[in-house]
Amino acid sequence: MENSQGGPAGIFAIKRIYDDPSDDDRCRVLVDRLWPRGVGKERAQLELWLKDVAPSPPLRKEFAHMQERFAQFREAYEAELETNPAVQTLRDLAAEHGKVTLLFGARDPETNHARVLQEFLERDRYSGK
């Protein structure tokens, strides 16, 4: 399976939790520490709410979704992920389901922790970890 750039398709996708669930999502995991406003648990159709893989509260507050802080946030969050046991849970779910959709509530689809997490997991997967 290939992605639109011609490389192997990732087994970790990201999607806003406010977008409609689809069969293509497979295993849906909310990766936010806080439950998103206005989304009922039934509509979310989650396999798991994995709060522990989200950025630490101090890091989340420092970032505050400000574009100019994103590079620094990315570096700090990846350092947290290096020692976070919840990352293994996502690896295990990917092995079991073939694909995991990481759900997030942030408005910006590019500048958010789920994007950093997805890229970390994909890079991790290709490095053999």
**Which tens digits make up the pLDDT trace of 71-117?**
999 999 999 999 999 999 999 999 999 999 999 999 998 899 999 99
How crowded is residue 13: how many other Cβ atoms within 10 Å of its Cβ? 18
DSSP line for 55-85: PPHHHHHHHTT-GGGHHHHHHHHHHHHHT-T
Residue 26: inside a domain: no
- Distance CA(124)–CA(129), nearest Å, equals 6
In the chain, the number of structural domains is 1
pLDDT above 70 covers a percentage of the chain that reads 88
Range of the domain at 57: 1-21+31-39+51-107+114-129
pTM above the 0.75 mark? yes
Residue 44: inside a domain: no
- Distance CA(45)–CA(97), nearest Å, equals 15
Residue 75: inside a domain: yes
- Distance CA(44)–CA(125), nearest Å, equals 27
Residue 46: inside a domain: no
CA distance to 31, 41, 86, 93, per residue, from 110 (Å): 15, 25, 22, 24
Residue 45: inside a domain: no
Q: What is the pLDDT of residue 65?
A: 85
User: What pLDDT, in 10s, does the model give residues 15-39?
Assistant: 999 999 999 999 999 999 999 999 9
Paired with 14 in beta bridges are 102
